[in-house]
Amino acid sequence: MNAPVKSSKLLKGHTGDWEMVIGLEVHAQVTSNSKLFSGASTEFGGQPNDHVSLVDAAMPGMLPVINEECVAQAVRTGLGLKAQINLKSTFDRKNYFYPDLPQGYQISQYKSPIVGEGEVIVDTGDGESISVGIERLHLEQDAGKSLHDQNPTMSFVDLNRSGVALMEIVSKPDMRSAEQARAYVTKLRSILRYLGTCDGDMEKGNLRADVNVSVRKPGEPFGTRCEIKNVNSIRFIGQAIEYEARRQIDILEDGGVIEQETRLYDPNKGETRSMRSKEEAHDYRYFPDPDLLPLEFTSAFVEELKAKLPELPDEKRARFIEEFGLTPYDASVLVAERESADFYEAVLAKLTDKARDGKLAANWVINELFGRLNKEGGDIATSPVSASQLSAIVDLIGEGTISGKIAKDLFEIVWTKGGDPKSLVDSLGMKQVTDLGAIEKVVDDIIAANPDKVEQAKAKPQLVGWFVGQVMKSSGGKVNPQAVNDILKTKLGL
Ligand code: ADP
Ligand code: MG
């Protein structure tokens, strides 16, 4: 049962070290125009009950009809998770009563899901990566929403969400720390967004997780787990895990036992509390939905979807490293969000010589652009500097028209006032001085004015940096520092 995990973060207790074991069940809303078994719209934010068909309202005698696009989305996701795609799967009824579930059951997949085992490679930040196994992915319906805050004496029900397709993605219990769990959800969300199968919007509840946590002494069998339901932010997932593991350790060290139960995380108090115990757990009486035939498709259908999959973050990262010599860290930063990878690729597409300047472009995207966006709390979608403007700046540096230092001034101008970088360089006279004679003249003047420094530099060649600084200053940063350095070394006989 030992998971393929390289490192663990152990927790200290008074009886020794403890290890956390974590497995996640992520619910991801499928991106589709209509619901899983009806033609009603999945659009967010309509008036309550605007998007409800007779099927979603569970009128007697209505028949569900599977939405082929939702099936394709689940298959795409399975492929993105390097998972087994099952050409035959079945739908079951999971029976329970809920005011916002008019059918009295949820159509889900129990014994035979559409997607089987897969894997997600997760970078944990410290340069290490772990493999988190995927147990399964199945399709199911979402429920509606009860509104308790509209009227002092009544509750209302909004069925707009009822019947919207969800993918439940179940991981193996392969994570050993809150950071690993956070990194896993971050990566999974990124894969879904690259694939376009779920928008990953956690604030709207379009991606949420049930978090299973247990603790054990290292090397011992798994302990009893508790499941924390419906956590809807990556930060809260981390906090809930830390709290829950500590709670379990305290109970075990006091000689108690962990009861398997379902808990809720309260972000205001920073703690989990019991919702229901295993004894109170529902017996869902799963049985095959008699209204739906087994879901079957051909391997040709799967192959067709596979051929059209976009490049995913792991492959993109490997390509950036290979093609442009980016560091693994820089490549990870660029691919982490689909929007930043797209932006970088848009810059690349406009470069005059991307083999030469691809790496320089990555530095500019990460350090100057992202750095500035972070500082000002903006994001890439609203960047004042466009991909083609940034690409023009990088071209100007790469071809030696401006120095990196001047380029920063130029970036500032483009950021605040806009404009075409190439014409700005002309009109503002920002071009680098490439006339060696002119540079030599400045160098000679500075040498002549500072005989004491010349003596010192002869004894201590690093002091040449002082001269370079002086030359840069007197030329307003418009000379190439390497050329200055070379000329100085010759003149000073270093
Ligand atoms: P169930 O069918 O009761 O929900 P599963 O075996 O499907 O149980 O597991 C649900 C989730 O709990 C999975 O994500 C799995 O990785 C996780 N899990 C299972 N056992 C443990 C454990 N001992 N500690 C932590 N997580 C666990
Ligand atoms: Mg479960």
In three-state form (DSSP H/G/I as H, E/B as E, the rest C), the secondary structure along 408-466 is HHHHHHHHHHCCCHHHHHHHCCCCCECCHHHHHHHHHHHHHHCHHHHHHHHHCHHHHHH
Closest listed residue to residue 398, CA positions, set 417, 419, 422, 418: 422
pLDDT at 8: 61
Say how many Å lie between the CA of residue 446 and the centre of ligand 1. 73
Which residue out of 1, 134, 136, 212 has the highest number of ligand 1 atoms within 8 Å of its CB and is therefore the one to mutate? 212
Which residue out of 109, 170, 259, 282 has the highest number of ligand 1 atoms within 8 Å of its CB and is therefore the one to mutate? 170
User: Does residue 141 contact residue 36 with C-beta atoms inside 8 Å?
Assistant: yes
**Per-residue DSSP letters for 346-387?**
HHHHH-S-HHHHHHHHHHIIIIIIIHHHHHHT--GGG-SS-H
pTM of the full predicted structure? 0.88
pLDDT at 481: 76
Q: What atom in ligand 1 is closest to the CA of residue 222? A: 23
Question: What are the structural domains, with CATH classification, of the chain?
Answer: 7-305 (no CATH), 311-427 (no CATH), 436-492 (1.10.10.410)
In a structure prediction context, what are the per-residue pLDDT tens digits for the chain, which is 494 residues long?
444 444 568 999 999 999 999 999 999 999 999 999 999 999 987 899 999 999 999 999 999 999 999 999 999 999 999 999 999 999 999 999 888 999 999 999 999 999 999 999 999 877 789 999 999 999 999 999 999 999 999 999 999 999 999 999 999 999 999 999 999 999 999 999 999 999 999 999 999 999 999 999 999 999 999 999 999 999 999 999 999 999 999 999 999 999 999 999 999 999 999 988 766 667 899 999 999 999 999 999 999 999 999 999 999 999 999 999 999 999 999 999 999 999 999 999 999 999 999 999 999 999 999 999 999 988 999 999 999 999 999 999 999 899 888 999 999 999 999 999 999 999 988 887 777 788 888 888 889 999 898 888 888 888 888 988 888 888 777 777 777 888 888 888 87
User: Does residue 188 contact residue 194 with C-beta atoms inside 8 Å?
Assistant: no
Say how many Å lie between the CA of residue 25 and the centre of ligand 2. 7
**Any ligand 1 atom below 6 A from CB of 21:** yes
Can you point out the beta strands (E) in 9-58?
11-13, 16-29
